[in-house]
Amino acid sequence: MSPVVETSRIVIVGAGLGALYAALELAPRPVLMISPENLGEGASSAWAQGGIAAAMDLSDSAEAHAADTVGAGAGTVDAQVAAMVTAHAREHIVDLTEKGTPFDRTPEGGYVMSLEAAHSAPRVVRVQGDQAGHQIMQTLIAAVRATPSVQVCEKSMATGLEVENGAVTGVWVRASDRESGAVLIRTPAVLLAGGGSGGLYAHTTNPPRVRGQVIGLAARAGAVIADAEFVQFHPTAIDVGEDPAPLATEALRGEGAHLVNSAGERFMLAIDPRGELAPRDIVARGIFAETQADRRPALDTREAIGAEILTRFPAVAKACLRNGIDPAREPIPVAVAAHYHMGGIETDMQGRASLDRLWVCGEAASTGLHGANRLASNGLLEALVYARLAARDIAAVVAEGTAPPVDLAFPEDGSDSYAPEALQALREAMTAKVGVLRNAGGLGSALARIDALERAQASSVTFANMCATATLIAASALERRESRGGHYRTDYPESDPAQARRSRMTLNEAQKIRAACVEETR
């Protein structure tokens, strides 16, 4: 029988931006953070290059930011959510500044604002060009380390939720760095802040462990999942064969870098008058088409940025140089890669999920902010806003008090392993059939493939969590018979005004769709 640990600590699953920020907001209420890696490692937040979108300039406004968010989201953004999130943006930038984040500043002391795709004004606050995620994470990690109410359990990962009468009462946790049995942590409240699902694809910019597990474990517990079909593929992952693929931040295009193919042609201007600064889904399909046509696309920064790329965008420069590319002298080869999941666990405006005593923030959540196509640099902003909202809502439910540290002793006997080749097969099926371009036949075959892989690895809870999220993405994509934002159907290439709404699906509903696809293949 698995051991059970009772605690009055609030359990936060994840260790990225949302998790850290929420833990600080909850202080002095005692918190237990479940972190698969050491703090600062393995979180998508730390890899975020662009920055945080916020109307900090006097010539800009939260209303304009909200309008751009709604416009980029292709008809499915919740306008009330967009207005709320953008209105709170400034206070979070100020808060992070006061905590010590070294945002880029002008000689006069103002914030340096960067232009990114689909923004009507420069409003992305950065750190050292492309170091925003890393620097913000380091600031928050230092604050968490100095907060006595926060206990961090590193090298551990959540694999399931305990639910009684529609309410979450506990979290199942295992060791993440070795084989172990599971421990059930009973807790008064759970905040899921464990990232998205990009690693379910063979080509991704996400950290290796971010494979939809948190969305999947919530779905397996019965939570409603929203907008699962909307996956954002970043147009400019650096195409050097690394897994995950390093990212060429969108800020480069904001600075004037342009896309060319192997013939030296600027192909985006023929696709959209906004060229390289068109919404990400349009740029991604443009680049994908060049790749498919064997006209290898590349990002040319030489004229716009020149040798300054080496100092102004150190992460990009480092990735290029270790692969023998000098970005000051030659174009950077790029390809499309899964980057951000607009969908996730449905939450209300306080971060509450459909299950009682369960809150969600960050990429694992679907708040209605992003719609069908996330506006650049709104991801970190959403994580901050909803981390605070969720923390305050939890604080209204969980009384202040003290709690001893949780002693997590994982049983030595137990295994949750799965075959590495099964994971690779899952990732390849998602890329080939549920990627940039989709159609009914491909989505149906992907669902049948996911079913077979899950059955073959039936003993692994972690693999079941991944397959749950993959199933929801593919089933939701099959049900949306139109093209919208990041979801593009070659058999339904036009947007249907009647479908300009968010989607909602439970895992049970998705599995019925999957079962029908399995029957069709027999």
Q: Which residues contact 221 (CB under 8 A, 6 or more apart)?
A: 160, 161, 163, 168, 355
Q: State the number of CA atoms in the 13 A half-sphere of 96 facing the CB.
A: 34
H-helix or E-strand spanning residue 92: helix 79-99
Q: Tell me which residue has tokens 């971010």.
A: 210
Task: Single out the residue of 225, 302, 293, 215 nearest to residue 258, CA to CA.
Answer: 302
> DSSP string spanning 407-472?
-----SS------HHHHHHHHHHHHHHSSSSB-HHHHHHHHHHHHHHHHHTTT-HHHHHHHHHHHH
Sign of the torsion angle spanned by Cα atoms 423, 235, 44, 315? positive
φ/ψ (deg, to 5) at 226:
-115, 145
Which residues on adjacent β-strands are paired with residue 344?
Answer: 226
Active site residues: 280
Q: Cβ atoms within 10 A of the Cβ of 6, count? A: 10
Tokens representing residue 323 in the block: 């692969």
Phi-psi region of 275 (alpha: psi -120 to 50; beta: other; left: phi over 0): left
* 269 secondary structure, DSSP code: G
Task: Single out the residue of 198, 208, 204, 232 nearest to residue 436, CA to CA.
Answer: 232
| Interatomic CA distance for residues 190 and 169, integer angstroms | 8
Cα–Cα distances (Å) from 368 to 67, 81, 304, in that order, read 14, 7, 35
| Interatomic CA distance for residues 141 and 298, integer angstroms | 36
Tokens representing residue 46 in the block: 């730390």
The residue count of the chain comes to 522
